[in-house]
Structure 1
Amino acid sequence: MPEKMENRLIRMQADLQKSLQKPVAKRSWMMVIDADKCIGCHACAVACMSENVSPPGVSYRVVKETEDGEYPEVKRFFMPTNCQQCENPPCIKGLPEDAYTLRPDGIVVFHYEKMRGKKLFEKVESQCPYSAVYYDSGEFYTADTPKLEPYETRPSYDYGDEWLRDGKGKSPVDAVRKCHFCLHRLESGMLPACVTTCVGGAMYFGDKNDPGSLVNELVEKRQTLRINESEGTGPRVIYLTGKVSTVETCLTCHG
Protein backbone atom coordinates (compact mmCIF):
# COMPACT_ATOMS: atom_id res chain seq x y z
CA MET A 1 0.00 0.00 0.00
CA PRO A 2 1.19 3.53 -0.71
CA GLU A 3 2.46 5.46 2.28
CA LYS A 4 -0.25 7.63 3.84
CA MET A 5 0.23 11.33 3.17
CA GLU A 6 0.79 13.54 6.19
CA ASN A 7 -2.09 15.90 6.91
CA ARG A 8 -0.62 19.39 6.58
CA LEU A 9 -3.11 20.98 9.00
CA ILE A 10 -2.42 18.41 11.72
CA ARG A 11 1.32 18.90 11.22
CA MET A 12 1.05 22.69 11.36
CA GLN A 13 -1.23 22.56 14.38
CA ALA A 14 1.35 20.46 16.20
CA ASP A 15 4.09 22.88 15.15
CA LEU A 16 1.99 25.78 16.45
CA GLN A 17 1.39 24.15 19.82
CA LYS A 18 5.11 23.52 20.21
CA SER A 19 5.99 27.13 19.41
CA LEU A 20 3.38 28.51 21.79
CA GLN A 21 5.26 26.83 24.62
CA LYS A 22 8.13 29.25 24.00
CA PRO A 23 8.27 32.91 25.06
CA VAL A 24 6.96 35.34 22.44
CA ALA A 25 10.47 36.64 21.82
CA LYS A 26 11.59 33.14 20.80
CA ARG A 27 8.92 32.79 18.08
CA SER A 28 9.11 34.16 14.54
CA TRP A 29 5.93 33.64 12.54
CA MET A 30 6.11 32.99 8.82
CA MET A 31 3.47 32.37 6.15
CA VAL A 32 4.29 30.25 3.11
CA ILE A 33 2.13 30.19 -0.03
CA ASP A 34 2.48 27.49 -2.70
CA ALA A 35 1.35 29.42 -5.76
CA ASP A 36 1.10 26.21 -7.82
CA LYS A 37 -1.67 24.90 -5.55
CA CYS A 38 -3.91 27.98 -5.46
CA ILE A 39 -7.09 27.24 -7.47
CA GLY A 40 -8.59 30.72 -7.25
CA CYS A 41 -11.60 29.73 -5.15
CA HIS A 42 -11.23 32.80 -2.88
CA ALA A 43 -12.23 30.71 0.15
CA CYS A 44 -9.32 32.24 2.07
CA ALA A 45 -10.58 35.76 1.39
CA VAL A 46 -14.12 34.86 2.48
CA ALA A 47 -12.84 33.16 5.64
CA CYS A 48 -10.73 36.20 6.43
CA MET A 49 -13.66 38.59 6.01
CA SER A 50 -15.86 36.41 8.20
CA GLU A 51 -13.22 35.95 10.90
CA ASN A 52 -12.42 39.66 11.12
CA VAL A 53 -15.94 41.03 10.45
CA SER A 54 -14.56 43.05 7.55
CA PRO A 55 -16.76 45.89 6.24
CA PRO A 56 -17.09 47.11 2.65
CA GLY A 57 -13.73 48.21 1.29
CA VAL A 58 -11.70 46.16 3.78
CA SER A 59 -10.27 42.78 2.77
CA TYR A 60 -7.09 41.70 4.53
CA ARG A 61 -6.68 38.80 2.10
CA VAL A 62 -6.88 39.32 -1.67
CA VAL A 63 -6.39 36.74 -4.43
CA LYS A 64 -4.92 38.40 -7.51
CA GLU A 65 -5.34 36.89 -10.96
CA THR A 66 -3.30 37.10 -14.13
CA GLU A 67 -2.92 35.31 -17.46
CA ASP A 68 0.18 34.26 -19.33
CA GLY A 69 0.64 33.15 -22.93
CA GLU A 70 -1.42 33.45 -26.08
CA TYR A 71 -4.39 31.45 -27.33
CA PRO A 72 -4.61 28.50 -27.34
CA GLU A 73 -1.70 28.19 -24.87
CA VAL A 74 -3.08 30.44 -22.16
CA LYS A 75 -2.60 29.87 -18.45
CA ARG A 76 -4.36 31.62 -15.57
CA PHE A 77 -2.57 32.15 -12.28
CA PHE A 78 -3.94 32.99 -8.85
CA MET A 79 -1.77 34.78 -6.32
CA PRO A 80 -3.02 35.22 -2.72
CA THR A 81 -1.62 38.22 -0.87
CA ASN A 82 -1.96 40.06 2.42
CA CYS A 83 0.14 42.18 4.78
CA GLN A 84 3.68 40.80 4.67
CA GLN A 85 4.41 41.60 8.35
CA CYS A 86 7.69 43.16 7.22
CA GLU A 87 10.71 43.07 9.47
CA ASN A 88 11.40 46.64 8.30
CA PRO A 89 7.88 47.90 7.50
CA PRO A 90 7.97 51.03 5.32
CA CYS A 91 4.30 51.74 6.07
CA ILE A 92 5.09 53.04 9.57
CA LYS A 93 7.66 55.60 8.48
CA GLY A 94 6.95 58.97 10.08
CA LEU A 95 4.15 57.67 12.31
CA PRO A 96 3.98 58.37 16.05
CA GLU A 97 5.72 55.58 17.95
CA ASP A 98 2.59 54.86 19.98
CA ALA A 99 0.58 54.17 16.80
CA TYR A 100 2.15 50.76 16.19
CA THR A 101 4.09 47.93 17.80
CA LEU A 102 6.63 45.63 16.17
CA ARG A 103 6.08 42.44 18.13
CA PRO A 104 9.10 40.20 18.75
CA ASP A 105 7.29 37.35 16.94
CA GLY A 106 7.18 39.49 13.79
CA ILE A 107 3.58 40.69 13.71
CA VAL A 108 3.16 44.40 12.97
CA VAL A 109 0.41 45.76 15.23
CA PHE A 110 -1.63 48.85 14.37
CA HIS A 111 -3.15 50.56 17.42
CA TYR A 112 -6.57 51.60 16.14
CA GLU A 113 -7.03 54.37 18.72
CA LYS A 114 -3.90 56.07 17.34
CA MET A 115 -4.22 55.04 13.68
CA ARG A 116 -7.28 57.06 12.76
CA GLY A 117 -8.31 59.37 9.97
CA LYS A 118 -8.35 59.31 6.18
CA LYS A 119 -5.29 61.53 5.94
CA LEU A 120 -3.18 59.18 8.06
CA PHE A 121 -4.49 56.21 6.07
CA GLU A 122 -3.40 57.85 2.81
CA LYS A 123 0.09 58.33 4.23
CA VAL A 124 0.35 54.70 5.35
CA GLU A 125 -1.13 53.44 2.07
CA SER A 126 1.36 55.43 -0.01
CA GLN A 127 4.26 53.89 1.91
CA CYS A 128 3.14 50.25 1.68
CA PRO A 129 4.57 48.59 -1.46
CA TYR A 130 2.13 45.68 -1.06
CA SER A 131 -1.19 47.61 -1.15
CA ALA A 132 -2.11 45.77 2.04
CA VAL A 133 -3.68 48.48 4.23
CA TYR A 134 -7.33 49.55 4.32
CA TYR A 135 -9.48 52.33 5.75
CA ASP A 136 -12.60 51.47 7.74
CA SER A 137 -15.07 54.12 6.59
CA GLY A 138 -17.85 52.87 8.86
CA GLU A 139 -20.02 51.40 6.11
CA PHE A 140 -22.10 48.23 6.42
CA TYR A 141 -23.17 45.82 3.68
CA THR A 142 -26.72 45.79 5.08
CA ALA A 143 -26.95 49.54 5.74
CA ASP A 144 -29.78 50.05 3.21
CA THR A 145 -31.86 47.13 4.45
CA PRO A 146 -34.47 47.14 7.25
CA LYS A 147 -31.82 46.29 9.85
CA LEU A 148 -28.12 45.65 10.24
CA GLU A 149 -27.51 41.92 10.26
CA PRO A 150 -25.81 40.26 13.25
CA TYR A 151 -22.91 39.04 11.12
CA GLU A 152 -21.92 42.70 10.67
CA THR A 153 -22.50 43.92 14.21
CA ARG A 154 -20.87 41.05 16.10
CA PRO A 155 -17.47 41.78 17.67
CA SER A 156 -14.15 41.21 15.94
CA TYR A 157 -10.92 40.45 17.78
CA ASP A 158 -8.14 42.11 15.83
CA TYR A 159 -4.86 41.97 17.79
CA GLY A 160 -6.65 40.21 20.66
CA ASP A 161 -8.93 43.12 21.63
CA GLU A 162 -12.71 43.20 21.23
CA TRP A 163 -13.96 45.67 18.61
CA LEU A 164 -17.54 46.68 17.79
CA ARG A 165 -18.48 48.68 14.70
CA ASP A 166 -22.01 49.57 15.90
CA GLY A 167 -20.88 52.27 18.33
CA LYS A 168 -21.45 50.19 21.47
CA GLY A 169 -17.80 49.62 22.35
CA LYS A 170 -14.24 50.18 21.17
CA SER A 171 -14.54 50.69 17.44
CA PRO A 172 -12.21 50.14 14.47
CA VAL A 173 -14.22 52.63 12.40
CA ASP A 174 -12.03 55.44 10.97
CA ALA A 175 -8.93 53.33 11.65
CA VAL A 176 -6.23 51.93 9.37
CA ARG A 177 -6.65 48.15 9.20
CA LYS A 178 -4.68 45.21 7.82
CA CYS A 179 -3.94 41.51 8.20
CA HIS A 180 -2.42 40.51 11.53
CA PHE A 181 -1.88 36.78 10.87
CA CYS A 182 -5.05 36.19 12.96
CA LEU A 183 -3.09 36.99 16.12
CA HIS A 184 -6.16 36.37 18.28
CA ARG A 185 -6.42 32.85 16.86
CA LEU A 186 -2.70 32.14 17.23
CA GLU A 187 -2.71 33.07 20.89
CA SER A 188 -5.73 30.78 21.37
CA GLY A 189 -3.86 27.89 19.78
CA MET A 190 -5.45 28.08 16.31
CA LEU A 191 -3.96 28.60 12.86
CA PRO A 192 -4.94 31.67 10.78
CA ALA A 193 -8.39 31.40 9.19
CA CYS A 194 -7.05 31.58 5.63
CA VAL A 195 -4.70 28.65 6.27
CA THR A 196 -7.35 26.31 7.67
CA THR A 197 -9.84 27.16 4.91
CA CYS A 198 -7.58 26.76 1.86
CA VAL A 199 -9.20 24.15 -0.41
CA GLY A 200 -6.12 23.64 -2.57
CA GLY A 201 -3.72 23.21 0.33
CA ALA A 202 -1.69 26.21 -0.80
CA MET A 203 -1.39 27.90 2.59
CA TYR A 204 1.18 27.12 5.27
CA PHE A 205 2.01 28.81 8.55
CA GLY A 206 4.56 28.25 11.27
CA ASP A 207 7.58 29.35 13.26
CA LYS A 208 10.68 30.35 11.35
CA ASN A 209 12.68 29.75 14.53
CA ASP A 210 11.66 26.08 14.62
CA PRO A 211 14.06 24.18 12.32
CA GLY A 212 11.73 21.18 12.29
CA SER A 213 8.59 23.08 11.30
CA LEU A 214 6.77 22.28 8.07
CA VAL A 215 7.23 25.84 6.79
CA ASN A 216 10.99 25.58 7.16
CA GLU A 217 11.04 22.21 5.39
CA LEU A 218 9.16 23.68 2.43
CA VAL A 219 11.35 26.77 2.18
CA GLU A 220 14.51 24.64 2.25
CA LYS A 221 13.31 22.26 -0.49
CA ARG A 222 11.66 24.66 -2.94
CA GLN A 223 12.52 27.72 -4.97
CA THR A 224 11.15 30.74 -3.13
CA LEU A 225 10.22 34.34 -3.76
CA ARG A 226 9.89 37.21 -1.31
CA ILE A 227 8.09 40.14 -2.92
CA ASN A 228 10.08 43.40 -2.96
CA GLU A 229 12.81 41.80 -0.88
CA SER A 230 15.41 43.93 -2.65
CA GLU A 231 13.86 47.02 -1.04
CA GLY A 232 14.89 45.75 2.38
CA THR A 233 11.36 45.26 3.71
CA GLY A 234 12.03 41.75 5.03
CA PRO A 235 8.64 40.18 4.20
CA ARG A 236 7.46 37.24 6.31
CA VAL A 237 5.21 35.91 3.54
CA ILE A 238 7.17 33.59 1.27
CA TYR A 239 5.97 32.24 -2.07
CA LEU A 240 6.94 28.80 -3.35
CA THR A 241 7.37 28.82 -7.11
CA GLY A 242 7.48 25.88 -9.50
CA LYS A 243 6.49 24.62 -12.93
CA VAL A 244 3.17 26.44 -13.05
CA SER A 245 3.79 29.61 -11.08
CA THR A 246 7.28 30.84 -11.81
CA VAL A 247 9.06 33.85 -10.38
CA GLU A 248 8.10 35.73 -13.54
CA THR A 249 4.38 34.98 -13.28
CA CYS A 250 4.38 35.78 -9.55
CA LEU A 251 5.89 39.17 -10.28
CA THR A 252 3.18 39.84 -12.87
CA CYS A 253 0.77 40.17 -9.94
CA HIS A 254 3.11 41.31 -7.19
CA GLY A 255 5.92 43.11 -8.95
Structure 2
Amino acid sequence: MKDYLNTDVNDLQRGYQFSEEVYHCAFCPAGFEQGVIYQQGSRQLDAKKAISEHVQEKHGSVFEALIHEGKEDTGLSDIQRDILIKLYEGKSDKDISREMGSSPSTIRNHRFKLREKQKQAKLFLALMNSLTSRKTGDDSEKLVPVHKGARMVDERYAITEDEREKAIETYFIGGVDGQLKQFPAKEKRKIIILQILLMRFDPQNVYTEREVNDILRESFDDFVTIRRYMIEYGFMTRNKDGSAYRVTGV
Protein backbone atom coordinates (compact mmCIF):
# COMPACT_ATOMS: atom_id res chain seq x y z
CA MET A 1 0.00 0.00 0.00
CA LYS A 2 1.46 3.37 -1.01
CA ASP A 3 1.09 6.50 1.06
CA TYR A 4 -1.34 8.72 -0.90
CA LEU A 5 -2.35 10.68 2.21
CA ASN A 6 0.28 13.36 1.68
CA THR A 7 -0.36 13.70 -2.06
CA ASP A 8 -2.69 16.47 -3.22
CA VAL A 9 -5.66 15.24 -5.25
CA ASN A 10 -4.71 17.45 -8.21
CA ASP A 11 -1.17 16.04 -8.16
CA LEU A 12 -2.55 12.53 -8.00
CA GLN A 13 -4.79 13.16 -11.01
CA ARG A 14 -1.84 14.26 -13.15
CA GLY A 15 0.44 11.55 -11.78
CA TYR A 16 3.19 13.65 -10.24
CA GLN A 17 3.94 16.39 -7.75
CA PHE A 18 6.48 19.21 -7.82
CA SER A 19 8.55 19.96 -4.73
CA GLU A 20 12.08 21.17 -4.04
CA GLU A 21 12.65 21.77 -7.78
CA VAL A 22 11.93 18.13 -8.61
CA TYR A 23 8.95 16.50 -10.35
CA HIS A 24 8.20 13.34 -8.34
CA CYS A 25 6.18 10.44 -9.78
CA ALA A 26 3.12 9.71 -7.63
CA PHE A 27 3.41 5.96 -8.22
CA CYS A 28 7.13 5.16 -7.92
CA PRO A 29 10.34 6.81 -6.62
CA ALA A 30 11.25 8.32 -10.03
CA GLY A 31 12.01 12.05 -10.08
CA PHE A 32 13.08 14.63 -12.67
CA GLU A 33 14.94 17.77 -11.67
CA GLN A 34 13.80 21.11 -13.07
CA GLY A 35 16.42 22.71 -15.31
CA VAL A 36 17.85 19.38 -16.44
CA ILE A 37 17.34 18.12 -20.00
CA TYR A 38 16.57 14.41 -20.29
CA GLN A 39 17.43 12.35 -23.34
CA GLN A 40 14.71 10.00 -24.56
CA GLY A 41 15.69 8.30 -27.76
CA SER A 42 16.40 11.06 -30.26
CA ARG A 43 14.42 13.63 -28.26
CA GLN A 44 15.48 15.98 -25.47
CA LEU A 45 12.82 16.65 -22.84
CA ASP A 46 12.55 19.14 -20.02
CA ALA A 47 11.71 17.77 -16.56
CA LYS A 48 7.96 18.43 -16.78
CA LYS A 49 7.63 16.70 -20.13
CA ALA A 50 9.89 13.87 -18.95
CA ILE A 51 7.75 13.12 -15.88
CA SER A 52 4.56 13.14 -17.98
CA GLU A 53 6.04 10.67 -20.44
CA HIS A 54 7.42 8.59 -17.59
CA VAL A 55 3.90 8.17 -16.15
CA GLN A 56 2.57 7.09 -19.54
CA GLU A 57 5.47 4.75 -20.33
CA LYS A 58 5.95 3.11 -16.93
CA HIS A 59 2.41 3.17 -15.55
CA GLY A 60 0.24 3.26 -18.69
CA SER A 61 -1.83 6.20 -17.46
CA VAL A 62 -2.91 7.73 -14.16
CA PHE A 63 -6.14 5.73 -14.35
CA GLU A 64 -4.31 2.46 -14.95
CA ALA A 65 -1.85 3.12 -12.14
CA LEU A 66 -4.62 3.88 -9.65
CA ILE A 67 -7.13 1.22 -10.69
CA HIS A 68 -4.57 -1.53 -10.09
CA GLU A 69 -3.98 -0.51 -6.49
CA GLY A 70 -5.40 -2.89 -3.90
CA LYS A 71 -8.85 -2.79 -2.35
CA GLU A 72 -7.39 -1.36 0.85
CA ASP A 73 -6.36 1.73 -1.13
CA THR A 74 -9.24 2.21 -3.57
CA GLY A 75 -12.13 0.87 -1.48
CA LEU A 76 -13.53 -0.68 -4.66
CA SER A 77 -15.08 -4.11 -4.96
CA ASP A 78 -13.94 -6.39 -7.80
CA ILE A 79 -17.16 -5.68 -9.72
CA GLN A 80 -16.83 -1.91 -9.29
CA ARG A 81 -13.22 -2.09 -10.44
CA ASP A 82 -14.14 -4.10 -13.55
CA ILE A 83 -16.96 -1.69 -14.44
CA LEU A 84 -14.68 1.33 -14.09
CA ILE A 85 -12.12 -0.29 -16.39
CA LYS A 86 -14.75 -0.97 -19.04
CA LEU A 87 -16.15 2.57 -18.73
CA TYR A 88 -12.61 3.91 -19.15
CA GLU A 89 -12.38 1.85 -22.33
CA GLY A 90 -15.44 3.72 -23.60
CA LYS A 91 -17.90 0.83 -23.45
CA SER A 92 -21.64 1.33 -23.06
CA ASP A 93 -23.90 -0.17 -20.41
CA LYS A 94 -25.10 -2.74 -22.97
CA ASP A 95 -21.54 -3.72 -23.88
CA ILE A 96 -20.58 -4.05 -20.22
CA SER A 97 -23.69 -6.03 -19.31
CA ARG A 98 -23.08 -8.44 -22.20
CA GLU A 99 -19.42 -8.96 -21.26
CA MET A 100 -20.18 -9.37 -17.55
CA GLY A 101 -23.28 -11.51 -18.04
CA SER A 102 -25.68 -9.12 -16.29
CA SER A 103 -28.52 -6.81 -17.28
CA PRO A 104 -28.01 -3.16 -18.36
CA SER A 105 -30.13 -2.07 -15.39
CA THR A 106 -27.68 -3.81 -13.03
CA ILE A 107 -24.78 -1.93 -14.59
CA ARG A 108 -26.69 1.36 -14.31
CA ASN A 109 -27.30 0.60 -10.64
CA HIS A 110 -23.57 0.03 -10.11
CA ARG A 111 -22.80 3.32 -11.88
CA PHE A 112 -25.27 5.10 -9.60
CA LYS A 113 -23.53 3.62 -6.53
CA LEU A 114 -20.14 4.72 -7.88
CA ARG A 115 -21.45 8.27 -8.33
CA GLU A 116 -22.70 8.22 -4.73
CA LYS A 117 -19.30 6.95 -3.65
CA GLN A 118 -17.71 9.90 -5.46
CA LYS A 119 -19.99 12.35 -3.64
CA GLN A 120 -19.21 10.76 -0.28
CA ALA A 121 -15.47 10.86 -1.02
CA LYS A 122 -15.65 14.59 -1.77
CA LEU A 123 -17.50 15.31 1.46
CA PHE A 124 -15.15 13.14 3.50
CA LEU A 125 -12.10 14.83 1.94
CA ALA A 126 -13.54 18.25 2.76
CA LEU A 127 -14.19 17.14 6.35
CA MET A 128 -10.65 15.81 6.81
CA ASN A 129 -9.12 18.93 5.24
CA SER A 130 -11.18 21.08 7.62
CA LEU A 131 -10.02 18.95 10.54
CA THR A 132 -6.33 19.14 9.66
CA SER A 133 -6.54 22.90 9.15
CA ARG A 134 -7.51 23.32 12.81
CA LYS A 135 -5.09 22.95 15.68
CA THR A 136 -6.54 20.08 17.69
CA GLY A 137 -5.11 17.95 20.48
CA ASP A 138 -1.55 17.75 21.69
CA ASP A 139 1.25 18.25 19.14
CA SER A 140 2.91 15.12 20.52
CA GLU A 141 -0.04 13.12 19.15
CA LYS A 142 0.53 14.27 15.56
CA LEU A 143 1.56 11.52 13.17
CA VAL A 144 4.99 11.65 11.55
CA PRO A 145 4.69 11.86 7.71
CA VAL A 146 5.39 8.66 5.78
CA HIS A 147 8.39 8.84 3.43
CA LYS A 148 7.63 8.94 -0.29
CA GLY A 149 9.30 5.67 -1.18
CA ALA A 150 7.51 3.52 1.41
CA ARG A 151 6.86 0.08 -0.12
CA MET A 152 3.91 -0.92 2.07
CA VAL A 153 2.19 1.52 4.42
CA ASP A 154 0.50 -0.17 7.37
CA GLU A 155 0.21 0.19 11.18
CA ARG A 156 4.00 0.30 11.47
CA TYR A 157 3.86 3.84 10.10
CA ALA A 158 1.34 5.10 12.67
CA ILE A 159 4.15 6.92 14.47
CA THR A 160 3.42 9.91 16.71
CA GLU A 161 5.83 12.77 17.40
CA ASP A 162 5.99 11.56 21.00
CA GLU A 163 7.03 8.05 19.91
CA ARG A 164 9.66 9.55 17.65
CA GLU A 165 11.16 11.66 20.42
CA LYS A 166 11.23 8.71 22.83
CA ALA A 167 13.01 6.56 20.23
CA ILE A 168 15.62 9.29 19.71
CA GLU A 169 16.26 9.47 23.46
CA THR A 170 16.49 5.68 23.71
CA TYR A 171 18.66 4.83 20.72
CA PHE A 172 20.84 7.85 19.97
CA ILE A 173 23.74 9.22 21.97
CA GLY A 174 23.38 13.00 22.13
CA GLY A 175 20.33 13.37 19.88
CA VAL A 176 19.68 12.95 16.15
CA ASP A 177 23.24 13.89 15.18
CA GLY A 178 24.80 11.39 17.57
CA GLN A 179 25.77 7.75 17.23
CA LEU A 180 23.26 4.93 17.28
CA LYS A 181 23.48 2.71 20.39
CA GLN A 182 21.75 -0.25 18.77
CA PHE A 183 19.42 -1.01 15.91
CA PRO A 184 15.96 -1.93 17.26
CA ALA A 185 14.16 -5.16 16.43
CA LYS A 186 10.63 -3.72 16.56
CA GLU A 187 9.41 -2.59 13.15
CA LYS A 188 7.99 0.79 14.18
CA ARG A 189 11.18 1.80 16.01
CA LYS A 190 13.25 0.52 13.12
CA ILE A 191 11.39 2.87 10.76
CA ILE A 192 11.91 5.81 13.12
CA ILE A 193 15.66 5.16 13.26
CA LEU A 194 15.89 4.89 9.48
CA GLN A 195 13.99 8.18 9.12
CA ILE A 196 16.50 9.87 11.41
CA LEU A 197 19.55 8.41 9.69
CA LEU A 198 18.19 9.43 6.29
CA MET A 199 18.51 13.07 7.39
CA ARG A 200 22.28 12.67 7.04
CA PHE A 201 21.93 12.41 3.26
CA ASP A 202 21.28 15.23 0.79
CA PRO A 203 18.19 14.43 -1.34
CA GLN A 204 19.79 16.24 -4.28
CA ASN A 205 22.94 14.10 -4.31
CA VAL A 206 23.72 10.81 -5.99
CA TYR A 207 25.92 8.63 -3.77
CA THR A 208 28.26 5.74 -4.48
CA GLU A 209 27.95 2.68 -2.25
CA ARG A 210 31.21 3.61 -0.56
CA GLU A 211 29.90 7.11 0.23
CA VAL A 212 26.71 5.63 1.71
CA ASN A 213 28.81 3.25 3.81
CA ASP A 214 31.05 6.07 5.07
CA ILE A 215 28.07 8.17 6.18
CA LEU A 216 26.32 5.28 7.91
CA ARG A 217 29.55 4.03 9.50
CA GLU A 218 29.77 7.28 11.46
CA SER A 219 26.47 6.35 13.13
CA PHE A 220 26.66 2.59 13.55
CA ASP A 221 29.26 -0.17 13.14
CA ASP A 222 26.91 -2.50 11.27
CA PHE A 223 26.39 -0.04 8.43
CA VAL A 224 25.70 -2.87 5.95
CA THR A 225 22.50 -3.80 7.80
CA ILE A 226 21.38 -0.17 7.90
CA ARG A 227 22.09 0.26 4.20
CA ARG A 228 20.11 -2.89 3.37
CA TYR A 229 17.09 -1.68 5.34
CA MET A 230 17.31 1.76 3.70
CA ILE A 231 16.70 0.02 0.37
CA GLU A 232 14.23 -2.57 1.68
CA TYR A 233 11.97 0.05 3.28
CA GLY A 234 12.18 2.41 0.30
CA PHE A 235 14.14 5.22 1.97
CA MET A 236 16.75 5.00 -0.80
CA THR A 237 16.94 3.54 -4.29
CA ARG A 238 19.98 2.19 -6.08
CA ASN A 239 20.97 1.15 -9.57
CA LYS A 240 20.92 -2.55 -10.36
CA ASP A 241 24.71 -2.69 -10.22
CA GLY A 242 24.76 -0.79 -6.90
CA SER A 243 26.81 2.05 -8.38
CA ALA A 244 24.43 4.89 -7.49
CA TYR A 245 22.19 5.53 -4.47
CA ARG A 246 19.49 8.21 -4.16
CA VAL A 247 17.23 9.39 -1.36
CA THR A 248 13.55 8.85 -2.11
CA GLY A 249 12.42 11.44 0.46
CA VAL A 250 10.73 11.70 3.88
Normalized against structure 2, the TM-score is what? 0.27
**Radius of gyration: which is bigger?**
2
Structure with more of its chain in strand, by fraction: 1
Structure with more of its chain in helix, by fraction: 2
Instruction: Select the structure with the greater relative contact order (CA < 8 A; seq sep ≥ 6).
Output: 1
